[in-house]
A = this chain, B = another copy of it.
Amino acid sequence: MPYPEKFTGFQVESPETWTEFHKNEFQPKPFGDYDVDIKIEACGVCGSDVHTINGGWGEQHFPLAVGHEIVGTAIRVGPKVSLIKEGQRVGVGAQSYSCLDCRQCKNDNETYCRKQLDTYGAKWPETGIISQGGYSSHVRTHEHWVFPIPDGLATHEAAPMLCAGLTAYSPLVRNGCGPGKKVGIVGIGGIGHFGVLFAKALGAEVWAISRSHAKEEDARKLGADGFIATGDKDWAKPHDMTFDLIINTANSFEGFDLSAYLSLLDVHGRWVSVGLPEGDGLSIRNQDFLSNGCFIGSSHLGSRKETLAMLQLAADKGIHPWIEQVPIGADNLSKTLQRLHKNDVHYRFCLTNYDDVFGQ
């Protein structure tokens, strides 16, 4: 296995040309004592990838290879690495750095560290190098954000768990999802379908909540105990004040009647949004929260500890996300990102066949 001096990735040059991918070499950050070099074998395709390259989330550093649901093989570990062994199958998600020293980091809240850096598109403070993601041959990552993948999980199924899966899993466990709880998952897409899978695996009564009945059969196959279509007349009434927790994965606020959703919540129940829609927000009044004293908030990824627990739960319970595998390449990336932009996926793409374009 020849070891490259530079890594190679499929980069986008600008938001105006976000459907064009160019295979370029790029310089990774210098190899640190705690770093792990990973030869990538698969990478999930996340909604964030589209929001980033098409300019929907604002200015970014280009050229850029996105992708932050990475699984591959650790081919080199730094002298102080203790969590990862060379040769191990490992994953990297959407976060690749935090200070590991502040109160947040020391309380398993490293995702909320003020110094956190993203796996792609972040500027490394010391060198100014822009981090590049998993649409690439290799990734170089501090061991804290490198996760051993349990044997029971297929590579293409584990990869999408590292952002979409964790984004659903962390707010579920942090907000009491478990036996005896009624949990709603709004939006059955990449994150939402993991929400149904994990909420069920954690023992809750799970309801999928979608605009129409189009995904009802899918939701039930994923394990949902019930299904609510918000296009139906008086859809909220039968569930008035019965949900303990709702995870909102919706990617758009168009036609969104937040008050109706909040009426589903029990006293002090929680509405946790994990999508980051482009554009303007929603108008809220204190009165919207008054009839049940509910709370709304967001959640950002999850901790290393939660990532490891999620992967183990998935392996133990035999959880199988619905993944469409796509061999990586410039044409396939263009087609796949455009399909994702139109939500034409049930429910996650995963890029594979890395050896075909990057070599053995």
A→B interface (CB under 8 Å): 103-104, 107, 109, 112, 114, 174, 240-241, 267-268, 270, 273-277, 280-300
Contacts and interface: CB of A to CB of B under 8 A. Distances in A.
Given A298-B293, A300-B290, A280 B283 contact: yes
B289 A273 contact: yes
21 contacts: A107-B267, A114-B240, A114-B291, A270-B295, A275-B286, A276-B290, A277-B285, A277-B286, A281-B283, A281-B284, A281-B285, A281-B288, A282-B284, A282-B285, A289-B297, A293-B297, A293-B298, A293-B299, A295-B295, A295-B297, A296-B297
A241 B295 contact: no
Number of copies: 2
B287 A276 contact: yes
Contacts of A275: 286
A296 B273 CA distance: 12
A282 B280 contact: no
Top-4 shortest CB links A-B: A281-B285, A289-B298, A295-B297, A295-B295
Contacts of A286: 273-277, 281, 298
A295 B107 CA distance: 18
Contact of A291 (B112, B276, B284, B296): B112
A238 to B, nearest CB: 14
B298 A267 contact: no
A286 B114 CA distance: 18
Contacts of A299: 293
Contacts of A285: 277, 280-282
Nearest to A294: B297
Nearest to A171: B293
Contacts of A268: 174, 297
Q: Determine which residue in A240, A267, A289, A297 has the highest number of CB atoms from chain B within 10 A of its CB, and name it.
A: A297
Contact of A104 (B241, B281, B296): B241
A213 B267 CA distance: 36
Q: Determine which residue in A104, A174, A240, A241 has the highest number of CB atoms from chain B within 10 A of its CB, and name it.
A: A241
A112 B292 contact: yes
Nearest to A282: B284
Contacts of A241: 103-104, 112, 114
Contacts of A300: 290-291, 293
A172 to B, nearest CB: 13
Given A107-B267, A282-B285, A296-B296, 9 more contacts: A112-B291, A114-B240, A273-B286, A280-B285, A291-B300, A293-B297, A293-B298, A293-B300, A296-B297
A69 to B, nearest CB: 19
